[in-house]
């Protein structure tokens, strides 16, 4: 009898009962493969790897309980209704019944995913923990071109852009941003929200091209759920800081593609609460009368025009005037209790009292997000900016061009990398290395632990010394512009100090040898006697060196024997893990040696060029 033989009528047991293949699951649910894939994405069901694959290794397996979970979901019935609706539309068009087809197209079956968000994330912290992929996907689609006729609807791209800006405005308002890094893929951000570290990636502000290598149907299924999830998260976060959601933005700023600035300005006013509640006191009589006069005067206008007028009236009540310096300022007279931790206070005051101006060639959106998140004030070149380039209070101008034609002596011109490096170092770095036209220092990743990797870059050590100096409150003297450079130069590198000590020791040995030879010459020691004594001494020295080397070899052999004994006593699985660990250490050491070699070659080539 075969090992897996099951008599007819006997119930399945073991893996055969626990798991089901994808083909059988699709037949069980009576849906197409595309709908099954979409259901699994929305419900969070993923394939499993059973220990014993009953029907072969080449098939995909799902847990039977997950498939039963999908079968009882109301969403599957909605998908069936959508399929029937498409058939009706197709049939009406085939019969050339255009009226029926239009009526059917105007009333398609719809569904919401609100219930799935609560089902998959019982608590708000669970949703925050799973927000990394959500933010990356939403920011990716927000950067795609919004063109009619493409595979992605324009309203989906606009919705993603709105959600991403709302998230960035909250992070900037609460000063929750912690790390940034510019890579080839895009710009990495890490924020800390309610004790949870959230990392996401935003693409560079370049023209994106939709390729045929990507299955956008699968990505749009993920995006459909992520849009709902991020909407709920933004709603919860905005209400946690007493701001109304969704926010009402200035239409003029929206038309100028300055949504992020409009959001930050809306949140910074502190008047984002609902107008009709008891705390805000409602709209005053003059403004309500103005609204009524506008409504009476435009009775013949469309509903959209009335709605826009109402929004403008609300904005006049809620938003302050666009005077210079009013950009993204927090409400200092807020009555809320200050519950910021030390790290948040440090981030909040990094760019305090600094005023930035962005030239037109720099990445505007990322800097509009980062600078206010660390307490700075920022403007840009273009319409809707809070202040112009000729403002005398500007302390730093961000420029990304080889030369700068007109220069204001009251401000510093730096490259965009200076802002990112200051954020990661949490100090204001010297601007000498980031001036216009210079090659900036290496951009170090804050997500890499240099101590664990075993290699610390030279610029990382320089930043550590500057951080230590900042903690000791080493303040610049009046009129001393090169204090930072002198501070860095005064702190000698460890390797240089070791080399200096070694040279000093060798010079002392040579000096001692010279004095000994002079003493022997004074004492009348001849060269023949000295040559006869030297072989004996050299023989003794060689014997001592041989004994020392033999002792070292014995010690190494003993260590190797101990390792072999301990390895022999291990089980096969632990021995494999130990070998894998040894291979990982060797690879890490080889990588460190390669980096040191490259650094040495770069230094030698740089010194050769200087000559």
Q: What is the pLDDT of residues 157-169, one digit of tens each?
A: 989 999 999 999 8
Q: What is the average per-residue pLDDT within 447-452?
A: 81
Higher per-residue confidence, 582 vs 563: 582
**Helix, strand, or coil (residue 202):** strand
Q: What is the pLDDT of residue 53?
A: 85
CA distances from 581 to 563, 576, 577 (A): 14, 9, 6
Note the Cα 256 to chain centre separation in Å.
Answer: 27
Higher per-residue confidence, 148 vs 115: 115
364 and 384 both lie in a single domain:
yes
Higher per-residue confidence, 75 vs 485: 75
For helices 416-425 and 458-471, give the axis angle rounded to 10 degrees.
Answer: 60
Question: Please, which residues have CB within 8 angstroms of residue 227's CB and are 6 or more apart in sequence?
Answer: 138, 156, 159, 160, 163
Which among 166, 156, 170, 125 is positioned nearest to 223, based on CA atoms? 156
CA distance 50 to 30: 24
pLDDT-derived band at 473 (thresholds 50, 70, 90) equals: low
The residue segments making up the domain with residue 399 are 343-441
Question: Tokens 């959001």, residue?
Answer: 263
119 and 242 both lie in a single domain:
yes
Instruction: Give the count of beta carbons closer than 10 Å to the beta carbon of residue 605.
Output: 10
Higher per-residue confidence, 276 vs 219: 219
Query: If you average pLDDT over each of 190-199, 210-219, 284-293, 526-535, which comes out highest?
Result: 190-199
Confirm if 379 and 358 have CB atoms less than 8 A apart: yes
Q: What is the average per-residue pLDDT within 102-118?
A: 91
Does residue 254 belong to any structural domain of this protein? Answer: no
CA distances from 195 to 126, 128, 136, 176, 275 (A): 12, 10, 20, 10, 32
Which among 233, 323, 232, 230 is positioned nearest to 269, based on CA atoms? 323
Average pLDDT, the chain: 77
52 and 119 both lie in a single domain:
no
Does residue 504 belong to any structural domain of this protein? Answer: no
Does residue 46 belong to any structural domain of this protein? Answer: yes
Strands (E) in 327-386, as ranges, are 355-358, 377-380
- From 72, 106, 140, the end of a domain falls on 106
Q: What is the CATH number of the domain that holds 363?
A: 3.40.50.10190
pLDDT tens digits, one per residue of 352-369: 889 999 988 888 889 989
Q: What is the pLDDT of residue 318?
A: 41
Omega cis (within 30) before 83: no
Beta bridge partners of 63: 19
Q: What is the average per-residue pLDDT within 439-457?
A: 83
Which among 74, 16, 25, 69 is positioned nearest to 44, based on CA atoms? 69
Domain count for the chain, please give it: 3
Q: What is the pLDDT of residue 452?
A: 74
pLDDT-derived band at 87 (thresholds 50, 70, 90) equals: very high
Choose the weakest-confidence range: 14-23, 280-289, 338-347: 280-289
- Whether residue 324 is predicted with pLDDT greater than 60 in this model: the reply is no
- Whether residue 512 is predicted with pLDDT greater than 90 in this model: the reply is no
- Whether residue 302 is predicted with pLDDT greater than 90 in this model: the reply is no
Q: What is the average per-residue pLDDT within 144-152?
A: 79
pLDDT-derived band at 228 (thresholds 50, 70, 90) equals: very high
Phi, psi angles (nearest 5°) of residue 198: -120, 125
Choose the weakest-confidence range: 129-133, 363-367, 551-555: 551-555
100 and 122 both lie in a single domain:
no
Does residue 476 belong to any structural domain of this protein? Answer: no
187 and 76 both lie in a single domain:
no
CA distance 336 to 333: 9
Q: What is the pLDDT of residue 490?
A: 45
Does residue 148 belong to any structural domain of this protein? Answer: yes
99 and 134 both lie in a single domain:
no
- Whether residue 196 is predicted with pLDDT greater than 70 in this model: the reply is yes
Q: What is the pLDDT of residue 484?
A: 47
- From 246, 275, 294, the end of a domain falls on 246
76 and 133 both lie in a single domain:
no
CA distance 168 to 369: 7
24 and 134 both lie in a single domain:
no
Choose the weakest-confidence range: 235-249, 298-312, 429-443: 298-312
Three-state secondary structure of 386-416:
CCCCCCCCCCEEECCCCCCCCCCCCCEEECH
119 and 195 both lie in a single domain:
yes
Higher per-residue confidence, 566 vs 573: 573
CB < 8 Å & 24+ apart, contacts of 278-287: 283/313, 283/317, 287/313, 287/316, 287/317
CA distance 412 to 481: 13
Confirm if 444 and 459 have CB atoms less than 8 A apart: yes
pLDDT-derived band at 190 (thresholds 50, 70, 90) equals: very high
pLDDT-derived band at 45 (thresholds 50, 70, 90) equals: very high
137 and 224 both lie in a single domain:
yes
pLDDT-derived band at 571 (thresholds 50, 70, 90) equals: confident
pLDDT tens digits, one per residue of 485-506: 444 444 445 556 666 777 777 7
91 and 129 both lie in a single domain:
no
Beta bridge partners of 198: 191
- From 412, 441, 470, the end of a domain falls on 441
Confirm if 234 and 228 have CB atoms less than 8 A apart: no
pLDDT-derived band at 179 (thresholds 50, 70, 90) equals: very high
- Whether residue 471 is predicted with pLDDT greater than 80 in this model: the reply is no
SS3 breakdown of the chain: % helix, strand, coil, rounded to 5? 55, 5, 35
Q: What is the pLDDT of residue 469?
A: 84
CA distances from 131 to 45, 231, 241, 322, 445 (A): 17, 12, 20, 34, 22
Q: What is the pLDDT of residue 315?
A: 41
């Amino acid at each position: 009898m075969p090992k897996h033989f099951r008599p007819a009528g006997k119930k399945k047991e073991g893996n055969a009962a626990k798991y089901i293949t994808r083909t059988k699951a699709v037949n069980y649910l009576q849906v197409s493969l595309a709908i099954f894939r979409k259901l699994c994405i929305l419900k969070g069901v993923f394939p499993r790897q059973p220990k014993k694959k009953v029907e072969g290794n080449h098939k995909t397996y799902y847990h039977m309980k997950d498939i039963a979970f999908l079968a009882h979901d109301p969403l599957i019935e909605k998908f069936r209704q959508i399929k029937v609706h498409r058939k009706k539309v197709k049939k009406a068009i085939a019969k050339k019944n255009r009226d029926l087809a239009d009526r059917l197209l105007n009333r398609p079956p719809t569904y919401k995913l609100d219930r799935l968000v609560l089902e998959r994330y019982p608590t708000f912290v669970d949703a925050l923990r799973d927000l990394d992929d959500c933010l990356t996907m939403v920011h990716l689609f927000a950067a795609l071109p919004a063109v009619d006729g493409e595979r992605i609807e324009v309203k989906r791209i606009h919705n993603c852009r709105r959600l991403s800006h709302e998230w960035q405005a909250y992070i900037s308002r609460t000063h929750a941003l912690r790390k940034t890094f510019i890579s080839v893929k895009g710009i990495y951000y890490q924020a800390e929200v309610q004790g949870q570290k959230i990392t996401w990636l935003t693409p560079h502000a370049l023209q994106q091209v939709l390729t045929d290598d990507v299955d956008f149907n699968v990505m749009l299924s993920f995006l459909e759920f992520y849009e709902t999830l991020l909407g709920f998260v933004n709603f919860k976060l905005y209400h946690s800081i007493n701001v109304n959601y969704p926010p009402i933005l200035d239409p003029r700023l929206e038309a100028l593609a300055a949504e992020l600035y409009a959001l930050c300005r809306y949140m910074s006013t502190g008047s984002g609460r609902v107008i009709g509640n008891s705390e805000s006191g409602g709209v005053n009589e003059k403004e309500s009368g103005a609204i009524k006069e506008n409504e009476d005067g435009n009775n013949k206008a469309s509903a959209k025009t009335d709605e826009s007028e109402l929004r403008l009236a609300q904005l006049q009540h809620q938003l302050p005037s666009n005077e210079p310096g009013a950009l993204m300022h927090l409400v200092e007279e807020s009555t809320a209790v200050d519950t910021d931790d030390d790290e948040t206070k440090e981030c909040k005051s990094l760019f305090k009292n600094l005023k930035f101006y962005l030239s037109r060639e720099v990445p505007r959106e990322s800097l509009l997000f980062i600078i206010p998140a660390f307490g700075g004030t920022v403007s840009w070149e273009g319409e809707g900016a809070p202040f112009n380039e000729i403002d005398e209070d500007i302390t730093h101008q961000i420029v990304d061009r080889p030369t700068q034609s007109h220069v204001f002596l009251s401000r510093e011109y730096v490259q965009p990398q200076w802002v990112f490096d200051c954020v990661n170092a949490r100090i204001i770095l010297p601007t000498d290395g980031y001036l216009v036209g210079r090659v900036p220092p290496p951009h170090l990743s804050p997500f890499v632990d240099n101590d664990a990797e075993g290699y610390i870059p030279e610029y990382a050590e320089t930043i550590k010394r500057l951080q230590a100096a900042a903690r000791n409150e080493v303040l610049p003297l009046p009129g001393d512009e090169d204090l930072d450079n002198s501070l860095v130069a005064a702190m000698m590198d460890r390797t240089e100090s070791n080399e200096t000590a070694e040279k000093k020791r060798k010079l002392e040995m040579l000096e001692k040898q010279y004095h000994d030879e002079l003493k022997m010459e004074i004492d009348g020691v001849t060269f023949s006697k000295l040559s006869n004594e030297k072989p004996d001494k050299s023989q003794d020295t060689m014997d001592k060196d041989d004994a020392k080397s033999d002792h070292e070899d014995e010690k190494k052999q003993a260590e190797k024997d101990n390792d072999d004994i301990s390895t022999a006593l291990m089980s096969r699985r632990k021995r494999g893990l130990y070998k894998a660990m040894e291979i990982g250490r060797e690879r890490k050491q080889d990588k460190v040696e390669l980096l040191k070699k490259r650094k040495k070659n770069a230094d030698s080539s740089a010194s050769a060029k200087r000559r």
